[in-house]
Amino acid sequence: MYAIPAAAEVLGVTPTALEAALRRGETIASLTEGCGLDVDRMTEQVLDAEVPDIEALASIAGFDSDEIDQFAAELRNYLISFIHEGEQAANALFDGPVLAAA
């Protein structure tokens, strides 16, 4: 996942330090606010780091454009939840299959 390295770079910390803070119950949003940075900007930077590569991989894997759009939307929802509420909350969004059967 590129979210951790991308967020760590913006925060000016190592990915390992960010992961430790997340394990302690911090969120990327709370850390961003604590550093006096804009959470919306952080969200955009994480999405920009993650989504295009995943869309490219889905295309290479043979998904059609509708499936890629759906997957990208679900990925965005996951990442926004991950940033604001943490990994557990984000994972809870997708306890089952994410792509609808065609």
The Cα-based distances of 29 to 26, 41, 47, 95, 97 in angstroms read 8, 10, 14, 23, 27
User: If pLDDT is split at 50, 70 and 90, which confidence band does 101 have?
Assistant: very low
Residue 48 lies in a domain: yes
Q: What is the mean pLDDT of residues 70-91?
A: 92
Residue 100 lies in a domain: no
Report the number of distinct structural domains present in the chain: 1
Tens digits of residue pLDDT in 30-49: 999 999 999 999 999 999 99
Q: What per-residue confidence (pLDDT) applies to 96?
A: 62
Could you give the 3-state DSSP secondary structure of residue 98? coil
- Contacts of 32-41 with C-beta under 8 Å, sequence gap 24+, read 32/7, 35/11, 37/10, 37/11, 39/83, 39/84
User: If pLDDT is split at 50, 70 and 90, which confidence band does 95 have?
Assistant: confident
How many angstroms from the chain centroid is the CA of residue 34?
Answer: 19
Residue 80 lies in a domain: yes
Domain assignment of residue 32, given as a range:
3-92
Q: In the predicted model, what is the mean pLDDT of the chain?
A: 90
Residue 64 lies in a domain: yes
pTM tops 0.75: yes
Residue 29 lies in a domain: yes
